[in-house]
Chain A
Amino acid sequence: EDKVVQSPLSLVVHEGDTVTLNCSYEVTNFRSLLWYKQEKKAPTFLFMLTSSGIEKKSGRLSSILDKKELFSILNITATQTGDSAVYLCAVGASGNTPLVFGKGTRLSVIA
Protein backbone atom coordinates (compact mmCIF):
# COMPACT_ATOMS: atom_id res chain seq x y z
CA GLU A 1 0.00 0.00 0.00
CA ASP A 2 1.30 3.44 -0.92
CA LYS A 3 2.36 5.50 2.08
CA VAL A 4 3.40 9.09 2.79
CA VAL A 5 4.96 10.10 6.12
CA GLN A 6 5.50 13.71 7.06
CA SER A 7 7.57 15.09 9.88
CA PRO A 8 7.38 16.85 12.16
CA LEU A 9 3.62 16.71 12.68
CA SER A 10 3.68 20.18 14.19
CA LEU A 11 6.16 22.97 14.54
CA VAL A 12 6.18 26.38 16.23
CA VAL A 13 8.70 28.98 15.10
CA HIS A 14 9.25 32.71 15.41
CA GLU A 15 8.92 35.12 12.53
CA GLY A 16 12.10 35.26 10.53
CA ASP A 17 13.13 31.67 11.25
CA THR A 18 13.82 29.16 8.48
CA VAL A 19 11.98 25.86 8.58
CA THR A 20 12.39 22.54 6.80
CA LEU A 21 9.48 20.15 6.45
CA ASN A 22 10.06 16.53 5.54
CA CYS A 23 8.14 14.04 3.48
CA SER A 24 9.11 10.42 2.90
CA TYR A 25 7.15 8.03 0.74
CA GLU A 26 6.70 4.49 -0.44
CA VAL A 27 4.82 4.17 -3.69
CA THR A 28 4.72 1.71 -6.53
CA ASN A 29 5.52 3.28 -9.90
CA PHE A 30 6.19 6.78 -8.59
CA ARG A 31 5.15 9.58 -10.93
CA SER A 32 5.13 12.83 -8.92
CA LEU A 33 5.25 14.39 -5.47
CA LEU A 34 3.19 17.45 -4.65
CA TRP A 35 3.16 19.97 -1.82
CA TYR A 36 0.00 21.80 -0.79
CA LYS A 37 -0.70 24.52 1.77
CA GLN A 38 -3.95 24.25 3.70
CA GLU A 39 -5.16 27.13 5.78
CA LYS A 40 -8.75 26.96 6.90
CA LYS A 41 -10.26 25.17 3.95
CA ALA A 42 -9.10 24.08 0.51
CA PRO A 43 -5.54 22.84 0.04
CA THR A 44 -3.77 25.12 -2.42
CA PHE A 45 -1.05 23.88 -4.75
CA LEU A 46 2.57 24.82 -4.07
CA PHE A 47 4.87 22.53 -6.07
CA MET A 48 4.92 19.42 -8.20
CA LEU A 49 8.21 17.50 -8.32
CA THR A 50 8.99 14.71 -10.71
CA SER A 51 12.78 14.71 -11.08
CA SER A 52 15.46 14.25 -8.46
CA GLY A 53 17.77 17.08 -7.52
CA ILE A 54 15.97 19.90 -9.29
CA GLU A 55 14.93 22.60 -6.86
CA LYS A 56 11.61 24.30 -7.38
CA LYS A 57 11.35 27.79 -5.95
CA SER A 58 8.58 30.29 -5.38
CA GLY A 59 9.49 33.33 -3.37
CA ARG A 60 10.57 32.21 0.10
CA LEU A 61 9.47 28.62 -0.49
CA SER A 62 11.55 25.95 -2.17
CA SER A 63 11.38 22.21 -2.51
CA ILE A 64 13.52 19.37 -3.75
CA LEU A 65 13.01 15.66 -4.37
CA ASP A 66 15.37 12.72 -3.83
CA LYS A 67 13.98 9.73 -5.71
CA LYS A 68 16.79 7.45 -4.57
CA GLU A 69 16.17 8.04 -0.87
CA LEU A 70 12.41 8.50 -1.41
CA PHE A 71 11.93 11.84 0.26
CA SER A 72 11.31 15.49 -0.32
CA ILE A 73 11.82 18.63 1.73
CA LEU A 74 9.98 21.91 1.73
CA ASN A 75 11.95 24.91 2.94
CA ILE A 76 10.49 28.21 4.03
CA THR A 77 12.92 31.04 4.71
CA ALA A 78 12.23 34.24 6.66
CA THR A 79 8.90 32.87 7.89
CA GLN A 80 5.94 35.19 8.37
CA THR A 81 2.74 34.75 10.37
CA GLY A 82 0.92 34.25 7.07
CA ASP A 83 2.89 31.06 6.55
CA SER A 84 0.98 29.47 9.44
CA ALA A 85 -0.91 26.55 7.91
CA VAL A 86 -0.90 22.80 7.46
CA TYR A 87 1.52 21.73 4.75
CA LEU A 88 0.47 18.54 2.97
CA CYS A 89 2.66 16.24 0.93
CA ALA A 90 1.08 13.90 -1.63
CA VAL A 91 2.40 11.34 -4.09
CA GLY A 92 0.99 10.18 -7.38
CA ALA A 93 1.72 6.94 -9.17
CA SER A 94 1.69 6.17 -12.85
CA GLY A 95 -1.62 5.21 -14.37
CA ASN A 96 -3.11 8.34 -12.85
CA THR A 97 -4.12 6.65 -9.62
CA PRO A 98 -5.42 9.17 -7.07
CA LEU A 99 -2.97 11.12 -4.95
CA VAL A 100 -2.07 9.68 -1.55
CA PHE A 101 -1.61 12.31 1.15
CA GLY A 102 0.42 12.43 4.33
CA LYS A 103 -1.04 13.68 7.60
CA GLY A 104 0.50 17.09 7.12
CA THR A 105 2.77 19.31 9.17
CA ARG A 106 1.03 22.05 11.16
CA LEU A 107 3.28 25.12 11.12
CA SER A 108 2.63 27.97 13.51
CA VAL A 109 4.65 31.15 13.08
CA ILE A 110 4.49 33.51 16.02
CA ALA A 111 5.40 37.19 15.99
Chain B
Amino acid sequence: DTGVSQDPRHKITKRGQNVTFRCDPISEHNRLYWYRQTLGQGPEFLTYFQNEAQLEKSRLLSNRFSAERPKGSFSTLEIQRTEQGDSAMYLCASSSDRGSRDGYTFGSGTRLTVV
Protein backbone atom coordinates (compact mmCIF):
# COMPACT_ATOMS: atom_id res chain seq x y z
CA ASP B 1 0.00 0.00 0.00
CA THR B 2 1.68 3.15 -1.19
CA GLY B 3 -0.57 5.81 0.28
CA VAL B 4 -3.75 7.63 -0.64
CA SER B 5 -4.62 7.55 -4.34
CA GLN B 6 -6.93 9.94 -6.13
CA ASP B 7 -8.29 9.70 -9.63
CA PRO B 8 -8.33 11.55 -11.93
CA ARG B 9 -5.45 13.93 -11.28
CA HIS B 10 -7.00 16.62 -13.47
CA LYS B 11 -10.50 17.17 -14.76
CA ILE B 12 -11.73 19.88 -17.09
CA THR B 13 -15.47 20.04 -17.52
CA LYS B 14 -18.07 22.35 -18.96
CA ARG B 15 -20.37 24.22 -16.64
CA GLY B 16 -23.48 22.21 -15.93
CA GLN B 17 -21.86 18.79 -16.35
CA ASN B 18 -21.58 16.23 -13.56
CA VAL B 19 -18.19 14.99 -12.36
CA THR B 20 -17.13 12.18 -10.06
CA PHE B 21 -13.82 11.76 -8.27
CA ARG B 22 -12.46 8.67 -6.58
CA CYS B 23 -10.26 8.26 -3.53
CA ASP B 24 -8.56 5.05 -2.36
CA PRO B 25 -7.31 5.50 1.22
CA ILE B 26 -4.56 3.62 3.02
CA SER B 27 -6.09 0.20 3.53
CA GLU B 28 -5.84 0.06 7.32
CA HIS B 29 -7.28 3.57 7.77
CA ASN B 30 -10.95 3.61 8.66
CA ARG B 31 -11.40 7.39 8.43
CA LEU B 32 -11.60 9.21 5.12
CA TYR B 33 -11.88 12.97 4.58
CA TRP B 34 -12.63 15.22 1.64
CA TYR B 35 -11.25 18.77 1.56
CA ARG B 36 -11.34 21.49 -1.07
CA GLN B 37 -8.50 23.92 -1.65
CA THR B 38 -8.52 27.05 -3.79
CA LEU B 39 -5.57 29.24 -4.68
CA GLY B 40 -4.11 31.03 -1.70
CA GLN B 41 -6.28 29.19 0.79
CA GLY B 42 -5.76 26.27 3.11
CA PRO B 43 -7.77 23.08 2.71
CA GLU B 44 -11.44 23.51 3.66
CA PHE B 45 -13.28 20.55 5.14
CA LEU B 46 -16.15 19.10 3.11
CA THR B 47 -17.09 15.77 4.65
CA TYR B 48 -15.74 12.69 6.38
CA PHE B 49 -16.46 9.01 6.82
CA GLN B 50 -15.72 6.50 9.51
CA ASN B 51 -15.89 3.17 7.74
CA GLU B 52 -18.97 3.48 5.51
CA ALA B 53 -20.81 5.99 7.71
CA GLN B 54 -20.74 9.65 6.70
CA LEU B 55 -20.32 11.34 10.06
CA GLU B 56 -20.08 15.02 9.25
CA LYS B 57 -20.77 17.37 6.36
CA SER B 58 -19.67 20.98 6.11
CA ARG B 59 -22.15 23.73 5.29
CA LEU B 60 -19.85 24.27 2.28
CA LEU B 61 -21.23 21.03 0.87
CA SER B 62 -24.23 22.18 -1.15
CA ASN B 63 -26.92 19.76 -2.29
CA ARG B 64 -25.09 19.47 -5.63
CA PHE B 65 -22.32 17.58 -3.81
CA SER B 66 -22.67 13.99 -2.68
CA ALA B 67 -20.10 11.61 -1.27
CA GLU B 68 -20.21 7.89 -0.68
CA ARG B 69 -18.03 5.21 0.80
CA PRO B 70 -20.13 2.12 0.12
CA LYS B 71 -17.94 -0.63 1.54
CA GLY B 72 -15.82 1.40 3.89
CA SER B 73 -12.88 1.33 1.50
CA PHE B 74 -12.74 3.72 -1.48
CA SER B 75 -14.88 6.85 -1.65
CA THR B 76 -16.42 8.88 -4.44
CA LEU B 77 -17.29 12.57 -4.50
CA GLU B 78 -19.81 13.65 -7.12
CA ILE B 79 -20.58 17.23 -8.09
CA GLN B 80 -23.74 17.72 -10.11
CA ARG B 81 -24.42 20.68 -12.41
CA THR B 82 -20.93 22.06 -11.93
CA GLU B 83 -20.40 25.81 -11.61
CA GLN B 84 -17.28 27.87 -12.21
CA GLY B 85 -16.98 28.39 -8.47
CA ASP B 86 -16.44 24.66 -8.06
CA SER B 87 -13.03 24.98 -9.70
CA ALA B 88 -10.56 23.90 -7.04
CA MET B 89 -8.23 21.15 -5.89
CA TYR B 90 -10.19 18.37 -4.19
CA LEU B 91 -8.04 16.60 -1.62
CA CYS B 92 -8.75 13.27 0.02
CA ALA B 93 -7.06 12.19 3.24
CA SER B 94 -7.25 9.15 5.49
CA SER B 95 -6.39 8.38 9.08
CA SER B 96 -6.80 5.73 11.71
CA ASP B 97 -9.09 6.24 14.67
CA ARG B 98 -6.47 4.68 16.91
CA GLY B 99 -4.83 8.05 17.45
CA SER B 100 -2.38 8.25 14.59
CA ARG B 101 0.81 10.07 15.50
CA ASP B 102 1.11 11.32 11.96
CA GLY B 103 -2.21 13.05 11.51
CA TYR B 104 -3.80 12.62 8.12
CA THR B 105 -2.20 11.19 5.00
CA PHE B 106 -3.24 13.18 1.94
CA GLY B 107 -3.60 12.13 -1.65
CA SER B 108 -2.22 14.24 -4.48
CA GLY B 109 -5.64 15.68 -5.19
CA THR B 110 -7.91 16.09 -8.18
CA ARG B 111 -7.69 19.51 -9.81
CA LEU B 112 -11.08 20.47 -11.23
CA THR B 113 -11.45 23.25 -13.78
CA VAL B 114 -14.97 24.24 -14.79
CA VAL B 115 -15.10 26.22 -18.03
How many residues of chain B get a CB closer than 8 Å to chain A's CBs? Answer: 23
Question: In which size bucket is the chain A interface?
Answer: 20 to 34
**In whole Å, how far is A73's beta carbon from the nearest beta carbon of chain B?**
17
B107→A97 contact, CB < 8 A:
no
Q: Which has the most chain B C-beta neighbours within 10 Å: A97, A99, A102? A: A99
B106→A34 contact, CB < 8 A:
no
A103→B40 contact, CB < 8 A:
yes
Which of A4, A41, A45, A104 touches B103 (beta carbons < 8 Å)?
Answer: A45
The A49-103 residues at the B interface (CB cut-off 8 A) are: 88, 90, 92, 96-103
B106→A43 contact, CB < 8 A:
yes
**In whole Å, how far is B48's beta carbon from the nearest beta carbon of chain A?**
5
A18 interfacial contact with B, CB 8 Å: no
